[in-house]
A and B are shown apart, each in its own frame.
Chain A
Amino acid sequence: MTLHRTWIGRRLLLGLGQTAAVVLLIFVLTEALPGDAAVALAGDQPDPERIARIREAMQLDRPAIERFLEWVGGMLHGDLGASLVTGRPVTGYLTTGLGPTVLLAAATLVLLVPLSVGLGVLAARREGGPLDRTVSALTLAVHAVPEFALGVLLATLFALRLGWLPPTAVGTGGDLAAHPAVLVLPVAVLLSRPVCSISRLVRAGMIDAMASPYAAQARRYGLSGARVRWAHALPNALAPATQQLARTCDWLLSGVIVVEALFVIPGLGTVLIDAVAARDVPVVQGIAVVFGVVTVVLNLGADLVARRFAPRSQVAA
């Protein structure tokens, strides 16, 4: 057990280190972007005097290291600073954007697990059969379609042609939970790729597990096929899938950006894109910290779960 504890401790430390690295990296990267918030704000009126005035007003003329340390100091007190452009607190940006994005991600994940496990197990049961081949071909095909194109296609077909669903989230005022119909298409787009990759992993894992000595042993004991499949083989098959699921969360971020733009959902992805274009460093950093922490925690959780499912596979810390 102590071994388990030290492993968790190691993973936690690693996670903290990763988060700190993300924070630093984001700062360096935004600093390295051409131009700064003053230039971005001046836009097509780049009068040098005007840019200098904006820069002064935003206190961008201070050295980067000074700004970085001040920001880290504030963060340790739970203060993420304020937007350079509006002066509104970054936490406000996060809270308004977080709701829709979390809702999208949660709805996606909730559907993702049963869907991909079901598909994977189904395909594995009929290995090599027509059903397996169909699922295989379909998942490959869908996985190859870019989200942007898929989103436009789905919206054109189901919203504009058939009129079954709203084409965008316009008019919901960001309150998506009250308009579940609005969520259908965005979630379908978000699901499209991870369902494919995870179900393929589950299928491969299941086929391996069903062919393994312990599954054969369980069958020799006279356990029913279902019992062997669901209680013995599946947990082992799920270990790689769980870790893939955590990776999916990182991927969800980019998917969310596309989906939010396509369906006009004012979530974090949209806030992030706007902040990058405006070189609004505090907002970019605030979001990056949130995403960084979430990603680290999810991966940590996934490794823990994978370890539970398949302790022998020795997930490295």
Chain B
Amino acid sequence: MNHSSLGSRLPGLARRGFIIGTGATALALAAGCGTGGSAPGAKDDGAAGGTPKRGGRLRAAFAGGGANETLDPHSASLFVDAARAKALFDKLADFGADLSPLPRLAARWEPNAALDSWRITLRKAAFHDGRPVTAEDVLYSYRRIADPKQAFRAQAALEPIDLGASRAVNASTVEFKLKRPYAEFPNTLAAFGAYIVPKDADTFDRPVGSGPFSFVSFKPGSSLLVKRNAAYWDGAPHLDELEFVVASEESARVGALLGGQVEYAHELNPATARAHEGQGKITVVRLRNSAMQGFVMKTDRPPFDDKRVRQAFFLIADRKELVDGSLSGAGEIGNDLFGKGSQYYAAGLPQRTQDLKRARALLREAGAEGLKVTLDTAPVATGFIEAAGIFKEQAAKAGVTVDVKVGNKDTYWKDILTSGTFASYRSGPMPIESHVSQRLLTGSPTNATHWRHKDFDELYQQIQSTRDDKQRAALYDRMQRRLHNEGGFLIWGFADWIVATAPKVRGVAKEAPANTLDWARFDKIWLA
């Protein structure tokens, strides 16, 4: 089973808020992710640099999806799925640290003048069984993902492609026909789960991919062992073997790392990281801007259908207090805009700060004095419940009564999509374009703020019909200015994603938000 955005999946354990806060588990960002390759991202060699050394086995602990795990890369939805898929498979493109697409299996992409047809030239690469990666494999993979009988995660991302009209020009060239102009089409090539599998592959008990590691053995819910692919197109990995082990309880991941049973642990709690940082036993790596944190206001129903109420809520939030209180300070404050640190982010807009007086005035103008709202939340992710409690206190200072309602975590995202008015929200990194197209257009599949404006849809289409980067950036600025002023996303922070390694592990990238190319990139890691 798997899925879900940064969510916690260990129910049953009555957590006693003692020693261990929340054990966020099954995590899968609502976003893209990566596959190995040579990115310009700042490489950091951990404690000491030096020349990469060949050999050894690295064991990496992730929270996992239990016995329901599959190695089908198109079914990927958890972090561990993404990390495993990245070891075994490649995508045509992947995201750099600023969430802009970088070429991977695709060496180049060229659009036509209308931006609705793209020619992809493949690089020379081979699957683990020696077959070359061809245009046929690409088309097969994309058609498999888009199969309406399936429900693969990347389906929404591939929606702009008219796969019926797309074709293989020759063995190394694919021509994608799109349903409409789409200047940022390469984002699709890098989308979470859009992996290239060999033609006709349909079972993945013994997966064959083109990735840096090839399959050795798999026990669902327990371990996957892969070995070095010496013929990898982007340079053979330094490690001989890589083992993914599943440990869904955070304390177990930390224990296994401290006890020398694994060399890499994914996703630690801020408190744990603080306790061990600088102690010399483990190296803590904080991947910044990895998880947007906020609240969604439904803009189509009272009280949030009045933009003054939304603006008041923006001003109620004391962002620093939210970051400190619910993320133990492991993060940065947000400015009600998605994608801090990524391409096209409107960094020039003034940072919002708490202004209770102005908030009260706005509420008065809107006739919403003595306002009562229900805030839906659930223990789907670290800090959700805490953030809701903190915001409740902040709102009280502006005369707003917030009633926190804790819902079911397994169905949370569906529940808040259509019902309620105000809810906790978080998202993994993805290009701003993906955030807009999946959540802010009239026809978006997961439009939790119910933001439906014809002129806004047209602005998005205008951006996607604009060839020039600079002009696109200007249009994005305009778009974000509007969202910043009256949108339905109250984005108060961006959480660090915390991974930790044994001191002898080198080559772990620091500038790599979760789901980007250099995140969980084990082909570039070595053991000193």
Contacts and interface: CB of A to CB of B under 8 A. Distances in A.
Partners in one complex: yes
A174 interface: yes
Contacts of A53: 148-151
Nearest to B418: A48
A149 B150 CA distance: 43
B408 to A, nearest CB: 5
B7 interface: yes
Given A45-B3, A146-B16, A166-B261, A277 B9 contact: yes
A48 B59 CA distance: 38
A43 B2 contact: yes
Given A53-B148, A155-B255, A146 B1 contact: no
A277 B67 contact: no
A124 B236 CA distance: 69
Interface in B137-165: 148-151, 153, 155-156
Contacts of A277: 1, 9, 11, 26, 410
Interface stretch (A134-142, A200-208, A268-276): A268-276
Nearest to B247: A264
Choose among B20, B28, B150, B222 the residue with the greatest number of A CB atoms under 10 Å from its CB: B222
A35 B4 CA distance: 14
Nearest to A35: B411
B410 A40 contact: yes
Contacts of A49: 445
Contacts of B65: 274
Contact of A35 (B2, B150, B255, B414): B414
B413 A44 contact: yes
Given A54-B151, A148-B14, A160-B255, A45 B249 contact: no
Given A166-B259, A266-B222, A42 B410 contact: no
B410 A35 contact: yes
B255 A167 contact: yes
A167 B16 contact: no
A170 B256 CA distance: 7
Interface SS, A side: helix
Contacts of B261: 166-168, 170-171
Given A146-B14, A166-B261, A273-B12, A43 B445 contact: no
Contacts of A41: 1-3, 151
A252 B77 CA distance: 33
Contacts of A35: 408, 410-411, 414-415
A174 B219 CA distance: 9
B13 A257 contact: yes
Interface in A250-308: 254, 257-258, 261-264, 266, 270-271, 273-280, 283
A44 B30 contact: yes
Contacts of A86: 68, 70, 220
A225 interface: no
Nearest to A260: B249
Contacts of A83: 68
A47 interface: yes
Choose among B18, B66, B70, B261 the residue with the greatest number of A CB atoms under 10 Å from its CB: B66
A167 B258 contact: yes
Interface string A31-75: 001110101111111111111011001000000000000000000
Contacts of A34: 407-408, 410-411, 415
Given A50-B151, A274-B67, A261 B13 contact: yes
B256 A168 contact: yes
Contact of B414 (A42, A148, A280): A42
A7 interface: no
Contacts of A163: 259
B344 to A, nearest CB: 23
B296 to A, nearest CB: 12
27 contacts: A33-B410, A34-B411, A35-B414, A40-B411, A43-B2, A44-B6, A44-B7, A44-B30, A46-B446, A47-B156, A49-B445, A51-B414, A85-B1, A85-B68, A86-B68, A149-B18, A167-B258, A170-B245, A170-B262, A171-B59, A171-B245, A174-B222, A270-B66, A270-B67, A273-B66, A274-B65, A274-B66
Given A45-B446, A270-B66, 4 more contacts: A45-B153, A83-B68, A149-B19, A273-B9
